[in-house]
């Protein structure tokens, strides 16, 4: 677009079809997102998405309102045809390439999950899908989906569905009172206020969901719409653009993953973007920064850049490493693929005759208010149905795949380890080899169902934190005929140990398990390693329910275990996470001793099973192109400190007639500080924390002695 310098020191845009500063803002947005994903600098680079939302609200609202003013209505077929030509072709193209590459890279469970991610993403419901799956977009997950970034496209697409109907309905209502524009303004302002309030409340309640939530983001689109309305009415100081651009950059460097987001701080980049959009003239610094040829070109290909950058990052770091050299290669490849997609797919199809027939479907009369209201209600119902469908078939928080998505046969041990030396030899023999489908379970069958009945999603006896009505799983002899009753209680790690306890028990034993996900059996105040409001209090409530169960049952043996996460997220008296290693260790020792003393009132024998070593996440590190060494992890000091603290508590706590024994899990999952995910013929873990049923059963001979008084 041509510009001319005026005597006032700023440039004035010549009339044209495209604002160069908007292309520059698109460039800023996508570059911030890419930089944050690749290098986590700036930490607030994710505000690039908020810039896109405001731009969409600004541009789309202008299109809609011009259509209403000129034609008395929104020509919806024409509107949707143009949006589809703009959005879907390149999104589908990137999705197909990504899915094909995924099938050549990962094994069936992971690839099937990515395929489902692609389907939900292209059905415009990725945001609900990933929110329901427990995705934390601001955290650097070890297992991100290459389609995770499609969530923002789904939010935009949902906006495209609903917003024309909202504005049309507002215009129609206003027309009844001869004030259609005022009604539109009221609708826009009401959307901003209500959505912003909802975002603040929802972020405080459940930030991960709020981040993906359409309603929480609606205020950003509406801010763009308000900027379009205000900008069309009067001229604004050209300095507003400079203030807005400075505020945007400052936001990127001051907002972090710890900032309450989107409510209320997403309003900062949203308002900053609106400030840049308001002036009809920009200062020279803004023109130089946003309207130079490089930024305009990046803005042109920004949509393709956004689509390509995350799959490129996931594949390249999976195939190679996350070194700066590889990341630089990711950047070059992203720009190359994006340019090709823009010139060969995105732009040609956008200007093609695809769906042109929709644009010719015109109505002769203005639809009645009732028709418009019906359209809005219909759109709402369809969105609700889509949301419920996603909820039904999404993966659970802990599962790679929902049980109804992929049925697997739970593998059992075929051989067992009788000595620690056998385990060490097995680790050494399988430390670096190609992945084999002869492993137990097979890589193509590795879902969370392989954890065993007590913890597998389809059969789990673990309840949610805060529950007092515990769910019991039972094995072995009946209550009436059992010569010994064994009660296994604790968190998900305790439940994952249950197959080993069952395999090590006698035929005349009765084994009962009851657990709670993420909540330690040790008497600590703890936070969760994921977002959970009031977790410490709810965890204490369910822990007390497990103690009450032990008191009621009076079992012969109580088996307990606790994940490393509980150790890492201990809280002090002020409710803050303990960071000092010594204090953390001492607190855990005291909490373990307190739990042992309480349980000693209900049994004559307590067995403490240690937490297996953390490994790499097999869902992402287990690839057809790699080796088993890719999933090995180094033993971290805090893991050893936790086990040592438990051992001190076992040795120093006097429990009278109650015997306490303990099993060192690190000894059978690590050698010389290296912790593999393959030991002998067994895949040991379903994820970094939980062991498979087959591996647990293989350790039964080693665990059996600690189950004896």
The helix (H) or strand (E) run that includes residue 281 is strand 281-283
Rounded-to-integer distance, Cα 661 and Cα 438, Å: 35
Q: Which domains are assigned to the chain? A: 23-393 (no CATH), 448-613+637-664+690-707 (3.40.50.1110)
- Cα angle, residue 108 at apex, residues 104 and 113 outer, rounded to 5°: 100
| Mean per-residue pLDDT of the chain | 89
Rounded-to-integer distance, Cα 207 and Cα 199, Å: 9
Tell me the whole-structure pTM to 2 decimals: 0.87
How many C-beta atoms surround the C-beta of residue 220 within 10 A? 32
Residue 362 has a pLDDT of 52
As a whole number, mean pLDDT of residues 648-663 equals 92
- Can you tell me whether residue 527 is helix, strand or coil? coil
Rounded-to-integer distance, Cα 37 and Cα 23, Å: 21
Of the candidates 315, 408, 306, which has an alpha carbon nearest to the alpha carbon of residue 102? 315
Q: What is the DSSP string of 425-488?
A: HHHHHTSS-B--TTSBS-GGG-SGGGG-TTTSTTT--EEPTT--S---EEEES-TTT-SEEEEE
As a whole number, mean pLDDT of residues 635-650 equals 96
Rounded-to-integer distance, Cα 397 and Cα 208, Å: 12
For residue 41, which phi and psi values (nearest 5 degrees)?
A: -135, 125
For residue 172, which phi and psi values (nearest 5 degrees)?
A: -65, -45
Rounded-to-integer distance, Cα 685 and Cα 670, Å: 13
As a whole number, mean pLDDT of residues 290-317 equals 97
**Contacts of residue 43, Cβ cutoff 8 Å, sequence gap at least 6:** 36, 253, 255, 256, 257
Question: Is the CB of residue 231 less than 8 Å from the CB of residue 282?
Answer: no
Residue 68 has a pLDDT of 87
Residue 77 has a pLDDT of 83
Statement: residue 382 has pLDDT above 80: no
Residue 137 has a pLDDT of 61
**C-alpha dihedral over 315, 316, 318, 324, to 10 degrees?**
-150
Confidence label for 636 from pLDDT (cuts 50, 70 and 90): very high
Question: Is the CB of residue 192 less than 8 Å from the CB of residue 223?
Answer: yes
Confidence label for 432 from pLDDT (cuts 50, 70 and 90): confident
The tokens describing 161, both together, are: 């569905």
The tokens describing 117, both together, are: 């991610």
Residue 365 has a pLDDT of 43
Q: Per-residue pLDDT tens for 76-120?
A: 888 888 888 889 999 999 999 999 999 999 999 899 889 989 999
Which residue intervals of 507-571 are DSSP H helices?
A: 535-553, 564-568
Q: Per-residue pLDDT tens for 132-143?
A: 776 666 555 567
Residue 654 has a pLDDT of 82
701 burial level (CB within 10 Å; 0-12, 13-18, 19+): middle
**Contacts of residue 311, Cβ cutoff 8 Å, sequence gap at least 6:** 94, 97, 98, 101, 146, 147
- Alpha-carbon distances of 622 from 15, 110, 369, 434, 451, rounded to whole Å: 55, 9, 57, 10, 17
The tokens describing 114, both together, are: 């990515």
As a whole number, mean pLDDT of residues 532-559 equals 94
Residue 380 has a pLDDT of 60
As a whole number, mean pLDDT of residues 26-44 equals 97
- Alpha carbon 17 to its chain centroid, in Å, reads 39
- Alpha-carbon distances of 78 from 17, 158, 360, 370, rounded to whole Å: 18, 17, 7, 21
Residue 655 has a pLDDT of 86
Lowest mean pLDDT among 117-126, 254-263, 392-401: 392-401
């Amino acid at each position: 677009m041509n510009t001319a310098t005026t005597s006032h020191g700023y440039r004035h845009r010549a009339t044209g079809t495209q604002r160069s500063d908007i292309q520059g803002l698109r460039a800023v947005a996508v570059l911030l997102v890419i930089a944050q994903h690749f290098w986590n600098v700036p930490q607030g680079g994710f505000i690039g998405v908020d810039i896109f939302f405001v731009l969409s609200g600004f541009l789309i609202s202008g299109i809609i309102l011009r259509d209403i003013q000129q034609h008395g209505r929104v020509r919806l077929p024409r509107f949707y045809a143009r949006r589809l030509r703009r959005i879907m072709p390149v999104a589908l193209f990137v999705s197909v390439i990504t899915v094909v590459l995924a099938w050549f890279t990962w094994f069936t469970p992971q690839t099937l999950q990515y395929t489902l991610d692609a389907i939900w993403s292209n059905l415009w419901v990725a945001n609900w899908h990933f929110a329901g799956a427990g995705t934390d977009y601001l955290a650097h997950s070890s297992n991100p989906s290459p389609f995770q970034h499609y969530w923002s496209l789904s939010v935009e697409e949902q906006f495209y569905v609903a917003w024309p109907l909202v504005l049309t309905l507002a215009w129609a209502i206003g027309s009844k009172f001869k004030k259609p524009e005022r009604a539109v303004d009221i609708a826009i302002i009401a959307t901003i206020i209500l959505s912003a309030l909802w975002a603040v409340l929802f972020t405080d309640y459940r930030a991960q969901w709020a981040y993906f939530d359409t309603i929480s983001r609606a205020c950003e689109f509406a801010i763009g719409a308000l900027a379009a309305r205000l900008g069309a009415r009067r001229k604004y100081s050209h300095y507003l653009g400079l203030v807005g651009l400075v505020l945007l950059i400052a936001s990127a460097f001051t907002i972090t993953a710890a900032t309450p987001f989107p409510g209320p701080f997403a309003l900062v980049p949203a308002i900053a973007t609106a400030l840049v959009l308001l002036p009809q003239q920009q200062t020279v610094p803004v023109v130089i920064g946003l309207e130079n040829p490089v930024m305009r070109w990046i803005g042109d290909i920004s949509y393709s850049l956004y689509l390509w950058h995350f799959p490129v990052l996931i594949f390249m770091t999976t195939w190679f490493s996350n070194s700066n050299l590889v990341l630089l290669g990711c950047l070059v490849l992203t720009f190359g693929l994006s340019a090709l997609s823009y010139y060969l797919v995105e732009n040609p199809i956008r200007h093609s005759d695809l769906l042109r027939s929709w644009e010719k479907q015109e109505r002769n009369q203005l639809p009645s208010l009732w028709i418009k209201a019906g359209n809005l209600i219909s759109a709402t119902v369809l969105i609700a149905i889509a949301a419920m469908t996603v909820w039904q078939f999404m993966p659970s928080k802990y599962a790679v795949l929902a049980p109804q998505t992929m049925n697997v046969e739970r593998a059992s041990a075929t051989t067992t380890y009788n000595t620690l030396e056998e385990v060490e030899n097995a680790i050494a023999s399988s430390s670096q080899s190609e992945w084999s489908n002869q492993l137990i379970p097979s890589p193509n069958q590795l879902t969370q169902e392989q954890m065993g009945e007590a913890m597998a999603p389809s059969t789990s006896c673990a309840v949610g934190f805060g529950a007092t009505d515990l769910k019991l799983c039972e094995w072995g002899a009946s209550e009436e005929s059992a010569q010994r009753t064994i009660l296994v209680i604790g968190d998900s790690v305790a439940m994952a140990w249950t197959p080993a306890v069952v395999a090590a028990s006698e035929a005349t034993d009765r084994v009962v398990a009851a657990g709670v996900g993420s909540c330690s059996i040790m008497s600590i105040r703890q936070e969760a390693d994921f977002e959970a409001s009031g977790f410490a209090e709810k965890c204490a409530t369910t822990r007390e329910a497990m103690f009450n169960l032990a008191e009621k049952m009076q079992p012969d043996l109580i088996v307990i275990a606790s994940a490393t996460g509980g150790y890492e997220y201990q809280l002090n008296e002020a409710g803050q996470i303990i960071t000092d290693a010594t204090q953390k260790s001492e607190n855990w020792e005291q909490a373990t001793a307190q739990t042992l003393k309480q349980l000693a009132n209900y049994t004559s024998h307590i067995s403490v099973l240690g937490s297996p070593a953390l490994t790499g996440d097999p869902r992402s590190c287990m690839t057809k192109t790699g080796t088993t060494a890719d999933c090995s992890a180094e033993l971290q000091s805090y893991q050893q400190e936790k086990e040592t603290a438990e051992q001190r508590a076992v040795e120093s706590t006097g429990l009278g007639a109650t015997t306490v024994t303990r099993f060192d899990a690190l000894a059978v999952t690590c050698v010389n500080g290296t912790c593999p995910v393959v030991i002998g013929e067994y895949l040991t873990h379903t994820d970094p924390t939980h062991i498979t049923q087959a591996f647990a059963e293989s350790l039964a001979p080693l665990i059996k002695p600690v189950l004896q008084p």
